[in-house]
Structure 1
């Protein structure tokens, strides 16, 4: 539930992110989403898409198609202000219609329209939210996170769990 100022309380999460192995050296960039736009971000706005379950990350990455090679990284998210759109009480408190989950965002973008999810993003960011928790479309019962702000001074911390430092630091391993 939001605090009296309308901001969600800070929370910590373990997340899973599946992405194209070529970008292993940039696991926290959000640039792929910025390049093409997504459910929760317009073109040009970096966004991290991750899942709260490993199986959901895999299902979302493949989108029900061919099983493409992927790198799956565990992320640690601390002090994030996420709006939980899977909670009916949260939807009600924020006057968000549950039909937001059925938003045809890709079709709207293809027609040059602003998807309802992008309008909601703008509103929630204005209220201090760093992102949202939303239901997975590819993994029934699974949940995803779209993160709009991370790792700026004084902001939440998003880190990749890599205790043995196995992730490359540059693209050189793919050349």
Structure 2
């Protein structure tokens, strides 16, 4: 059952894509921990500090655009809960999955296999512990803003985000 209470999320991303903050195309281009190449996915965090840490991955502090999102009517698998992990046939070791090395070796990471099973069960995304911000939590969202799925809105009360890529040309 989807959670009816809106959830506040934070997303940090490359400013060049400020006109399309809900596209998920960056993740689709390069793949991610919870999505293979070609599968649009929104990666966000429940805490602002976690969004910043995840964006920079602990390395060079790159310029970023940080936005607040509001997610509603989503069914998320909370993989921070050991009981939920067990229910979905996984354990805490999935959070340490070296997904990039596995993909580069031509294999399928456990996170992708779990994603497929969850999608088949009608799950829209996962909540998982941040790798870069201990104690922080992240969300990977696979479905949003379709007629029959969860709603994801960007909070931009003054309309400051650009509506097209024209500002970057």
TM class by shorter-chain length? Answer: over 0.9
The one of 20, 32, 54 aligned to 2:48: 54
Any runs of at least 4 consecutive aligned residues in structure 1 with deviations exceeding 6 A, and if so which?
Answer: none
Please list, as runs of the form range in 1=range in 2, the aligned pairs for 1:81-100 lying within 5 A after superposition: 81-100=75-94
Matched, 1:64 2:58: yes
Q: Which runs of 5+ in 2 are unaligned?
A: none
Matched, 1:142 2:136: yes
What is the alpha-carbon distance in structure 2 between the residues aligned to residue 92 and residue 104 of structure 1? Answer: 20
Deviates more, 1:87-96 or 1:23-32: 87-96
What is the alpha-carbon distance in structure 2 between the residues aligned to residue 126 and residue 115 of structure 1? Answer: 17
Q: TM-score if structure 2 supplies the norm length? A: 0.97
Shift of 1:92: 2.5
Q: TM-score if structure 1 supplies the norm length? A: 0.93
What is the alpha-carbon distance in structure 1 between the residues aligned to residue 161 and residue 128 of structure 2? Answer: 28
Answer whether contact 2:97 2:110 (CA < 8 A) is retained: yes
Residue matched to 1:116: 110
Shift of 1:164: 0.3
Residue matched to 2:10: 16
Answer whether contact 2:82 2:91 (CA < 8 A) is retained: no
The one of 162, 165, 169 aligned to 1:168: 162
What is the alpha-carbon distance in structure 2 between the residues aligned to residue 131 and residue 106 of structure 1? Answer: 20
Residue matched to 1:27: 21
Shift of 1:21: 0.4
What is the alpha-carbon distance in structure 2 between the residues aligned to residue 69 and residue 27 of structure 1? Answer: 15
Aligned CA-pair RMSD: 1.0
Q: How many residues align?
A: 168
| Structure 1 residue matching 2:20: 3-state secondary structure | coil
Superimposed CA distance per residue, residues 139-167 of structure 1 (whole angstroms, 9 cap, x where no aligned partner) = 00000000000000121100000000000
Shift of 1:9: 4.0
Residue matched to 1:104: 98
